[in-house]
């Protein structure tokens, strides 16, 4: 199911292709709808909810996904990129193979700008900076990735501090924190940041945050048990996507407000 608002405003997301290998993981049901932010005859801009796969998994239990839902009404639609299961936010969907190829070229040429909002554990001292650390597959620990100078591919993420908060303020604003907080102090510092990844490696922002010493709150793969339990979802949202319309050439600047 998806929800189409009565307006044609453009808002944003981000994803990635290639189906994941079958494993024992079964995604919990996602009851939140996809919102179509903008559409024309060539593409869709949607807002993906946290907890929904971008592409159906090989396990039959993981059929529900962005593509599975949209293809019912847009039979020729294809994914240009993917967002992780826990990541919410803006995605661009091609409505035919020609548009898919044109958009994929922009992603491969790195002419697409993607911006994310994340909540990180701890207080970041510098107001802005970058994380430059190569990423490789951690084959013995699939689906994890790892920082590896020898085998890794170049990966670079820019960050900018937006606000410094605490668990107490986070609880008031989002009501997303788990009920398992009996032993968690309200004074735990968190930092709200904007990430702009210059490259598009799998799990890039999640593993770069861990490498940086400030894991994304709610991250099950690259955080500590403590940071994971601070929120009931991955606190990562794709807020902005900029690209050239594949047919008209118009620069599209799409935005999706952060829900937390």
* 3-class secondary structure, 229: helix
As a dihedral over the C-alpha atoms of residue 148, residue 149, residue 151, residue 157, rounded to 10 degrees, the angle is 70
Burial 59-88 (b: 16+ CB within 10 A, else e): eeebebbbbebbeeebeebbbbbbbbbbbb
What is the rounded CA–CA span in Å between residue 199 and residue 214?
A: 20
Look up residue 155 and give its two tokens: 């990966």
What is the rounded CA–CA span in Å between residue 39 and residue 44?
A: 4
Look up residue 139 and give its two tokens: 């084959």
Pick from 50, 60, 112: which is nearest to 83 by CA?
50
Pick from 195, 205, 228: which is nearest to 113 by CA?
195
Where in the sequence numbering do the catalytic residues fall?
84
Do residues 34 and 66 lie in contact, with contact meaning Cβ atoms separated by under 8 Å? Answer: yes
């Amino acid at each position: 199911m998806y929800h189409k608002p009565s307006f044609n405003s453009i808002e944003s997301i981000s994803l990635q292709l290639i189906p994941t290998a079958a494993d024992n993981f079964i995604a919990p049901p996602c009851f939140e709808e996809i919102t179509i932010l903008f559409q024309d005859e060539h593409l869709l801009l949607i807002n993906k909810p946290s907890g929904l796969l971008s592409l159906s998994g090989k396990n039959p239990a993981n059929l529900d996904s962005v593509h599975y839902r949209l293809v019912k009404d847009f039979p020729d639609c294809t994914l240009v990129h993917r967002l992780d299961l826990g990541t919410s936010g803006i995605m661009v969907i091609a409505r035919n193979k020609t548009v898919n190829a044109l958009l994929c070229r922009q992603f491969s040429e790195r002419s697409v700008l993607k911006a994310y909002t994340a909540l990180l554990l701890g207080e970041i001292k510098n107001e802005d900076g970058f994380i430059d650390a190569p990423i490789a597959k951690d084959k013995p620990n699939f689906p994890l990735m790892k920082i590896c100078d020898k085998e890794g591919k170049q990966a670079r993420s820019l960050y900018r501090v937006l606000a410094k908060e605490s668990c107490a303020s986070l609880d008031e604003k989002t009501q997303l924190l788990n009920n398992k907080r009996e032993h968690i102090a309200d004074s735990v510092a968190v930092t709200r940041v904007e990430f702009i990844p210059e490259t598009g490696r799998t799990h890039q922002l999640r593993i770069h945050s861990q490498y940086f010493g400030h894991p994304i709150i709610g991250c099950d793969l690259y955080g500590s048990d403590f940071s994971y339990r601070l929120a009931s979802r991955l606190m990562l949202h794709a807020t902005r996507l900029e690209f050239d319309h594949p047919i008209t050439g118009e620069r599209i600047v799409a935005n999706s407000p952060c829900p937390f």
